[in-house]
A and B are shown apart, each in its own frame.
Chain A
Amino acid sequence: MIVTSPPSPVISIQNLTKTYSSGFQALKSITLDIRRGEIFALLGPNGAGKTTLISIVCGIVTPSTGTVSVDGHDIARDYRAARARIGLVPQELTTDAFETVWDTVSFSRGLFGKAKNPKVIERVLRDLHLWDKKDNKIMTLSGGMKRRVLIAKALSHEPEILFLDEPTAGVDVELRRDMWRVVRGLCDNGVTIILTTHYIEEAEEMADRVGVITKGELLLVEDKAVLMQKLGKKQLALKLSTPIDRIPTALAEYPLALSSDGAILTYTYDKQTERTGIDTMLNDLGRTGLRFTDLESQQSSLEDIFVGLLETPR
């Protein structure tokens, strides 16, 4: 019998906490494994601790307790090996000003211990549509261009793991598309990607797995599909031919909601269960004499799930 052990995680975070010197606890015992080659989305509101978590893994912030290992290398004891594997695109647009795009990207490559390689730099710059800007000083670039430069810097040393801290903040549609194209390409080449975002569609669109973090706690980590299924409710909206004041008592048993104008009746059901109850509900509805002119069913988005999670007191 062949026993295959599960592949080792590329990043392993164990009981990580962070209390800033101000006394503020930004992370409360985070334990998380990132799988090799996945796109992981860290989803959370402002101040949730996303940047803190990333900064610890990258060596910018020192953890209070707990351990992190990157590809088996402890970030404290074996920091060289750990950090050499990581590329980081920070949340803030922090760039030099007087250097050229080419120089700053080449600088990053050197910083991460790689020998000069103009071919790699050229490829990265072309991928990010920065090639024609390569001799421009960074300060002459627009905000979106600067973000491209930050991405180019992070990719300059061919990292195995890429952190994107809110990559689409202040980014137009075109750059977002470019970025996702680059990210998918990296992913196809086996690069692990961890991104943080407030934009839930982004996690929904890009990620294989999603972790929801708030107030320094990781609420859940799930495959995106599982999460959508597990928590995904479906809703059936019925447009009534004549608006009503209140839901008829005959239908009180059902999870129905009436819109404020009384024109739309919404039935919420769990699509995982065998019996959705739609048929009996519609039968009972028919018996009350209500008529509807249109109906629409929709899956709740990750946004709804997320908002629902945050609202539920734990």
Chain B
Amino acid sequence: MNWHAVQAIYMFEMARTRRTLLQSIVSPVISTSLYFVVFGAAIGSRIQQVDSVSYGAFIVPGLIMLSLLTQSIANASFGIYFPRFTGTIYEILSAPLSSFEIVLSYVGAAATKSTILGLIILLTAGLFVPLHIDHPFWMLVFLLLTAVTFSLFGFIVGLWADGFEKLQLVPLLIITPLTFLGGSFYSIHMLPPFWQAVTLFNPVVYLISAFRWSFFGQADVHIGISVVAILSVLGLCLAVIWWMFKTGYRLKS
């Protein structure tokens, strides 16, 4: 293992985060707070309870997931796309680095950043609603697992994109709808049976469900199924990245 290189890239990426602290941390916190004001206070006051949890508290896991997903993808995709765009990728490609080490450092940095962000949002949420976490350990596990999985996905997007528009497209067109329809703001049991069945094809449902389980001890989908679903997405992302490096896809001509 070329640990010096992994460290160098990781620190480089983290330094970039520090430079762009405003976009990376402050803006998600502000937008999450807005969600709390709108959904938690304004609308939430008219909704009694969901699965015996107050609506304000009920949306916390979903909101964290919403930020975690978009930020993981944004960070990781930008992290690898930018050197491709500027051409500085030449140095990464010419370095004595394995594909695994490249992925480890970029995805590691992106996942670290979004995990920290997730925790910050959790603390912010604590200011609006009294929070109670049933399984703090599993909460952290799911937070990390999601951050890693979607940073991997973001890395794929960053390799695939051949323009800044495409970089925006995936989060906007795929991730945001999937998250909104994945039960961030409602329990999928509130949907008519047909849409409940459709929803089960949305991987984000399992993430949110598992994450919510770690908070309240109850879930839309059985926790075991959720874990299998999350790990499958993780495995799929790893397989795609493995293929991309093997073929030199968009990296080497």
Contact = CB atoms under 8 A, between A and B. Distances in A.
B90 to A, nearest CB: 5
Interface in B176-228: none
B94 A115 contact: no
Interface string B82-120: 000011101111111110000000000000000000000
A111 B95 contact: yes
Contacts of A111: 4-5, 8-9, 91-92, 95, 97
A81 B90 contact: no
11 contacts: A59-B93, A59-B94, A60-B94, A81-B96, A88-B90, A92-B87, A94-B86, A95-B86, A107-B8, A109-B4, A113-B5
Interface in A88-138: 88, 90, 92, 94-99, 103, 106-115
Contacts of A80: 2, 96, 98
A86 interface: yes
B96 A113 contact: yes
A114 B90 CA distance: 18
Choose among A62, A86, A107 the residue with the greatest number of B CB atoms under 10 Å from its CB. A107
B46 interface: no
A83 B252 contact: no
A61 B252 contact: yes
Interface residues of A, number: 35
Interface of B: 2, 4-5, 7-9, 12, 15-16, 19, 86-88, 90-98, 248, 252-253
B83 to A, nearest CB: 8
Contacts of B95: 83, 111-113
Nearest to A80: B96
A94 B94 CA distance: 14
Nearest to A163: B94
A97 B90 CA distance: 15
Interface string A45-78: 0000000000000111110000000000000000
Given A61-B252, A94-B90, A84 B96 contact: yes
A112 B12 contact: no
A90 B89 CA distance: 11
Interface in A226-242: none
Contacts of A99: 12, 15
A94 B96 contact: no
Query: Which 10 residue pairs spanning A and B have beta carbons closest together?
Result: A110-B8, A94-B87, A80-B96, A83-B96, A58-B94, A111-B95, A84-B96, A110-B4, A113-B2, A60-B93
Given A94-B88, A95-B88, A96-B86, A114 B252 contact: no
Given A60-B94, A80-B2, 15 more contacts: A58-B94, A60-B252, A61-B252, A62-B252, A86-B94, A88-B90, A92-B87, A94-B88, A98-B19, A99-B15, A103-B15, A106-B8, A110-B8, A112-B5, A113-B2
Nearest to B10: A110
Contacts of A108: 91
